[in-house]
Structure 1
């Protein structure tokens, strides 16, 4: 078989078709699967080939809409709905408890969900909203589901965890370790919090791969710049305009930015989840569906930062994540 080559224009469907044999028989959990988002498109294309796709979200009605749209497009899809509020540690524990009652093992967890980039907001656990939803919640969820992942391992298959990060992590100074456990509204800006959360995704993929000692492979990625439901939220508009992503009219700035469609934007996630060429590159960062480790900012590839973040996050969740 000729190894597939991917580019900026490659779609998620094309990647899923290329790796159909790898997806067959797999059970995949994807967070943040609302319509008009990357997670939905990721779920839709994987559902064409997988044994089971678990879609998650905190809004049960929106989950049902996503399920209906997937089933309409893929009548044979085996889709299961899971209510998951990543902004609540109790909510994460409840959802993980439900998954742990499922009879099937998990082959892949895709952390696609993200909080909107908004003015300062605390969660029920008094954590900053973006760091809680994008990093701390997913960290706890992965920890609680690690036995489910490990149960899917064979001599020929290593389970995977995928974190949807962003090239925007390079714009910031990395993770602000002082503010993770004690968020400071006076130091807060929506974009800096976003940059830090996306740095945390990359660091976690690196450290998870290292600590699991080959039993779980984790990856992070830049999906591209895409006009999705998250940057269409009114509360995010000012931040998006200040960054120059959206114009004064609230529409995509196409003068300075090359935009991807949602099908193109979901492609790299599918590659990170299933490309067998990544087996010997745990912790890798992908862009345009290919490894792009050289594009990681130094603060987000620093092993000391990765180790420190792991320890800080363990303290916040009150649990040790070991293998």
Structure 2
């Protein structure tokens, strides 16, 4: 892993470093709306990759994202995919579309996340934040596994990246009772976020273990970044209450050191392409560096990882096979 990378490293710098690894790859990134780190990752990867599939649940906004990329890289191969991660049926529909593509898939980056807000159930009667951040991505990854496995070769192992957060360590880990039976009386929007991010870390560890070397999965902390998600009405108000944003909705430097969007997307690109990670499956990254010591015990516990996997398969009604 390059020691050149640190807190201030940008996604552009990482992509340039791994241009050879990105070349010829087909990559799918969820959550690519304007003003987010997902689109920044697309912007730098699209300069070198064969194909980048971008996703969103709003067709109009997705088109704007493609236009923004094409403006800078006119020859970039971008494909739009409508995907609503809060609906298992919508995830299945989107996955079927990807599986019909003629190309294999080398890298899947699960970047999309729900904004923090009041308790809400999805169409599948799941808590909205956990559905969007964990159940949807888990099912999507499961359904795209054959497409990922088709990209494997003697010299390449397909990758799955989960954009988690250091916030995974702020809570007590996944609450398996409310996972299956969401309860508005027990709901706390920050705790829900902490649990969803814990689930991301556990899933990366367990996916790497279960695949037996066929798929390498990683999770990461992108940094604290002033993205579009913090500017959504519900999230913005809660972040002001939390003390992360001031009364005008602007970042407060007291609690955290903030990253720019280009800095915030750097670790995602590292997790997707750094060849030195090949023998470190399941790792957690921070500042584009392996930081497994930063994983909270509840999110590195193999028993918890297996328990979450089994519970998730039961809830989505599908078994993950390789």
Residue of structure 2 in register with 1:271 after alignment: 270
Query: How far off its partner does 1:196 sit?
Result: 0.1
Aligned partner of 1:146 in structure 2 is: 145
Deviation at 1:243, TM superposition (A): 2.8
Q: Tell me the number of residue pairs that the alignment of Structure 1 and Structure 2 aligns.
A: 322
Q: Which secondary structure does the structure 2 equivalent of 1:186 belong to? A: helix
Say whether 1:222 aligns with 2:218: no
Equivalence for 2:298: 299
Post-superposition shift, 1:238? Answer: 3.1
Q: Who is 1:157 aligned against?
A: 156
RMSD after superposition: 1.0
TM-score with structure 1 setting the length: 0.98
Which residue in the other structure is 1:82 paired with?
81
TM-superposed deviation, 1:3: 4.5
Distance apart, 1:244 and its partner CA: 2.2
Residue 35 of structure 2 aligns with which residue? 36
Structure 2 residue aligned with 1:317: 316
In 2, are the aligned partners of 1:268 and 1:287 still within 8 Å (CA)?
A: yes
**Distance in structure 2 (CA, Å) of the matches to 1:260 and 1:167:** 14
- What does residue range 201-240 of structure 1 map to in structure 2 within 5 Å? 201-240=200-239
Distance in 2 (alpha carbons) for counterparts of 1:150 and 1:166: 27
Q: CA deviation at 1:250?
A: 1.6
TM-score (norm 2): 0.99
Tell me how far apart the structure 1 counterparts of residues 38 and 27 of structure 2 sit (CA, whole Å): 12
Specify the SS of the correspondent of 2:45.
helix
* Other-structure match for 1:54: 53
> How big is the shift at 1:241?
2.3
Structure 2: tracts of 5 or more residues without a match? none
Q: Distance in 2 between matches of 1:163 and 1:272?
A: 9
Q: CA deviation at 1:4?
A: 5.5
Structure 2: distance between partners of 1:129 and 1:258: 29
Runs of 4+ in structure 1 deviating by more than 2 angstroms, as ranges, are 241-244
Distance 1:308 1:257 in 2: 33
Judge conservation of contact 1:4–1:18 (CA < 8 Å) in 2: no
CA distance in 2, matches of 1:18, 1:159: 19
Classify the secondary structure of the residue corresponding to 2:161. Answer: strand
Distance 1:243 1:177 in 2: 26
1: distance between equivalents of 2:66 and 2:143? 25
Q: Is contact 1:191–1:239 with CA below 8 Å preserved after alignment? A: no
CA distance in 2, matches of 1:165, 1:86: 16
